[in-house]
Amino acid sequence: MFESAALGRKYSDKEFEQKAPALRLRLFNAQRQCLKRRIPILIIVAGLEGSGRGAIVNMLSEWMDSKHVRNHIFWLPTDEERTRPRPWRFWRCLPPAGEIGVFYDGWYSEDLRRLCCKKINDAEFSKCMHQWCALESGLADAGMGIVKLWLHLDKKTHAANVNKRLNNKALLHFSPYDKKTAADYEGMVNAASRAITLTDRDNAPWSIIDAADPNFRVLSVANAVIAGMERAIAARDAREARLQQLATLETDSAPAEKETLISTLDAIDLSVSQQPEHYKKELKNLQESIRTLSYRTYQRGISCTLLFEGWDAAGKGGAIRRITSAVDARITRVIPISAPSDEELAHPYLWRFWRHIPRSGFVTIYDRSWYGRVLVERVEKLTPREDWSRAYAEINQFENQLTSRNNVLLKFWLHISPEEQLRRFKERENTPWKQYKITDEDWRNREKWSDYARAADEMFLRTSTVNAPWHIIPAENKKYARLAVLRAYEAALRAALKKKGKE
């Protein structure tokens, strides 16, 4: 794979001075086009030790408008990063619309080093690569341009450059992994070859750069970045043309979505209730149990993510308050989700939710969630069909990354009838301290009940997985719904502690 990148190709200083100005202008203009079109660009600079990755990161900031370039160096994970799923540290740093994010090594370096040092086997490495490939595909589909650079050296040049670094006391900042991988040229090259083979895709291709000569390296990188930006601009043009064509077809034909004979929600028994005389006692017992269990999960580093969806006035807030009353406030956060801010709109859709993922032992509760993309954004036509259709797979991948890292994920849908919702709406209008809860938007949403029910039905079908099933709670009786939520949470905590004890 790397034969053509180890030929020792060079440009003299004179040749470099002749070619660099025009190439630098092309790179600057490509960046300006991406800024104008609000296309985010992610550049991953990876390669062998001593291949000039740091020099390339500096060169990119120098050749482009540095006001719109953000460099991120991913060294050994911090304590904060270790307490969350691995992608969290990268999601936080993704570039917003029109900006350039330069990742030194990016998400590949740790897995390359672990494979080279035999800390993981081939199967585990392949699994990691497929996860990163899925992440890149999701970002690319969302409109991000991805440029991946591998800076390569022949064995002789690599050894000379590493020895030079080791003899420079100012550069002796290698981690233990770096020392091992720097000494194992063949192992690192084999790991890189496997990674590139598994993750080279049309929407996120690798450019392998002969990095022995600094002049050749700089010009090759500039060409690769320009090509990546132009590819992103072309993809944006194609997407806009496709969306326009689809909008025209939908307007002309206006096909009606098929009705299902019976939906998941239709099958829910809303007649169940909780006897008032037993409610307080069971509520107290459940909350005391959850308080004890949540302390034990905190000690064991098990985090919890709970999300609540459901009809307006279904009682999400009341259920959440019964949970927060049972869990120490110091380890609990409630995140209310409303319309995205300008900053959130400038990033990939899931970015706003990755920001709040709890650290080990902590609890995050989402009042509404990432499912807004396949519910309100779908029904209200705020998002093109191809985006919300793609979101199911992205959400499943996201949730799998949570549950694979000692994170208890509970998804609740609180279900009521249209008649009960109407009664609660009128009660809110007639109760002074509840009037803030009812808005014109609530009444508009009610008119689209069947559309939301259809969207929810597909959501349950496509995102209820073994590790993250949906809990559909009959909420016609508020007391029953609150206890049902607490029972599910208590059972999940017990199961997580039991599983942790077996590991």
Span 141-150, pLDDT tens digits:
999 999 999 9
The pLDDT, as a whole number, for residue 171 is 60
Helical ranges in 273-358 per DSSP H: 276-300, 316-324, 342-345, 351-354
The pLDDT, as a whole number, for residue 324 is 97
Asked whether the predicted pLDDT for residue 475 surpasses 90, the reply is: yes
Residue 414, beta-bridge partner list: 310, 473
8 A C-beta contact, residue 27 and residue 81: no
| Cβ-Cβ contacts under 8 Å for 103 (sequence gap 6 or more) | 42, 43, 44, 45, 72, 74, 90, 93
Residues in the chain, total: 503
- Residue % of the chain over a pLDDT of 90: 81
Residue 409: its H or E element: strand 407-415
Averaged over 399-428, what is the pLDDT? Answer: 95
| Cβ-Cβ contacts under 8 Å for 459 (sequence gap 6 or more) | 371, 374, 375, 392
- Give the pLDDT band (50/70/90) at residue 260: very low
Tokens of residue 133, six digits: 């490939």
DSSP 204: B
8 A C-beta contact, residue 51 and residue 104: no
Averaged over 374-391, what is the pLDDT? Answer: 95
Averaged over 412-428, what is the pLDDT? Answer: 95
DSSP secondary structure string, 364-402? EEEES-GGGGGTHHHHTT-S-HHHHHHHHHHHHHHHHHH
- Give the pLDDT band (50/70/90) at residue 434: confident
Averaged over 362-372, what is the pLDDT? Answer: 98
pLDDT digits (tens, 9 = 90+) for 337-352: 999 999 999 999 999 9
The pLDDT, as a whole number, for residue 44 is 98
8 A C-beta contact, residue 188 and residue 196: no
Q: At what angle are helices 109-116 and 122-141 packed, to 10 degrees? A: 170
d(CA 67, CA 65): 6
* Dihedral angle, C-alpha 265, 269, 492, 372, nearest 10 °: 20
The pLDDT, as a whole number, for residue 211 is 95
d(CA 44, CA 137): 15
> Residue 153 in 3-state DSSP?
coil
Averaged over 274-289, what is the pLDDT? Answer: 94
> Residue 356 in 3-state DSSP?
coil
Q: What share of the chain is helix, strand, coil (3-state, %, to 5)?
A: 60, 15, 30
d(CA 71, CA 108): 16
Tokens of residue 415, six digits: 């279900």
Listed range (129-133, 259-263, 364-368, 430-434) with the worst mean pLDDT? 259-263
pLDDT digits (tens, 9 = 90+) for 306-338: 999 999 999 999 999 999 999 999 999 999 999
Tokens of residue 472, six digits: 């559909």
The pTM of the full predicted model, rounded to 2 decimals, is: 0.91
8 A C-beta contact, residue 154 and residue 6: yes
Tell me the C-alpha to C-alpha distance, in Å, between residue 201 and each of 5, 52, 90, 134: 19, 25, 20, 10
The pLDDT, as a whole number, for residue 249 is 75
Asked whether the predicted pLDDT for residue 398 surpasses 80, the reply is: yes
Q: How high does pLDDT run on average in the chain?
A: 92
The pLDDT, as a whole number, for residue 422 is 95
8 A C-beta contact, residue 493 and residue 290: yes
d(CA 332, CA 304): 9
The distance of Cα 397 from the centroid of its chain, to the nearest Å, equals: 9
Tell me the C-alpha to C-alpha distance, in Å, between residue 385 and each of 140, 259, 390: 17, 18, 8
* Dihedral angle, C-alpha 363, 367, 371, 374, nearest 10 °: 180
Largest CA distance in the chain: 90
Tokens of residue 337, six digits: 């989700």
d(CA 228, CA 26): 12
For residue 499, the number of C-alpha atoms closer than 13 Å in the C-beta half-sphere is 15
Residue 47, exposed/middle/buried by CB under 10 A (0-12, 13-18, 19+)? buried
Asked whether the predicted pLDDT for residue 268 surpasses 50, the reply is: yes
pLDDT digits (tens, 9 = 90+) for 181-233: 888 999 999 999 999 999 999 999 999 999 999 999 999 999 999 999 999 99
Asked whether the predicted pLDDT for residue 489 surpasses 80, the reply is: yes
Asked whether the predicted pLDDT for residue 503 surpasses 70, the reply is: no
Asked whether the predicted pLDDT for residue 257 surpasses 60, the reply is: no
